[in-house]
Amino acid sequence: MPDEYVDLEYDLHRVEASRGVLEMAVRQLRAFALCITANRTEADELVEDTLMLFLAEDRILRECDRCFAELLEVFRRVHSRAALMPASRPAPEHLYAGYMQLALPERELAALVMGGGISVSTAAGLLGISPAQAECIHDAIRCKLGGASLPEWPFIAGASEYSGSGTDGTG
């Protein structure tokens, strides 16, 4: 391609913008992964594997909410494969042990709704389940936990559609 058609400054700004979006989404994913695994080392390894697969595809990263949704989709595939492999599980970190008393679908929803403060209906969309199914899972979580609380990771993305909900998941 002739140099006259190359705009290096534009490309540099695009890369910087993508890097910022990706960085914010990865931070969110890391917090989610910690809730799912209750172990920082395991969470970081899963996020690293997820990121490698995610970056293997050429993506345009403009919106953090979309980036997080795509990362979450890849993470769930990576985590499901890792769960099939026999491995000695380290003891859960005390702060995150409450998540481990929940089944995986409950943990995922609890991490997004109770941990991230995302509405139940938005979490349902991210997890690929119906809002009614998500409400049933949310009710089951509340019954299992009783009055116990789970650690929070405020969802801070420029994700206007995800923000603005309370930690109770009512939106």
Architecture of domain 98-152: Orthogonal Bundle (1.10)
Q: What is the pLDDT of residue 86?
A: 65
Separation of alpha carbons 83 and 67, rounded Å: 24
pLDDT given at position 66: 84
The torsion angles phi and psi of 59, rounded to 5 degrees, stand at -125, 150
Task: Tell me if the pTM is above 0.75.
Answer: yes
Assign residue 91 a region: left if phi > 0, alpha if psi is -120 to 50, beta otherwise? beta
When pLDDT is cut at 50, 70 and 90, the band that residue 71 belongs to is: very high
pLDDT, residue 118, reads 92
- Residue ranges of domains in the chain: 7-93, 98-152
The pLDDT assigned to 58 comes to 72
Q: Per-residue confidence at 24, pLDDT binned at 50, 70, 90? A: confident
The reported pLDDT for the residue numbered 34 is: 95
> In the predicted model, what is the mean pLDDT of residues 70-94?
84
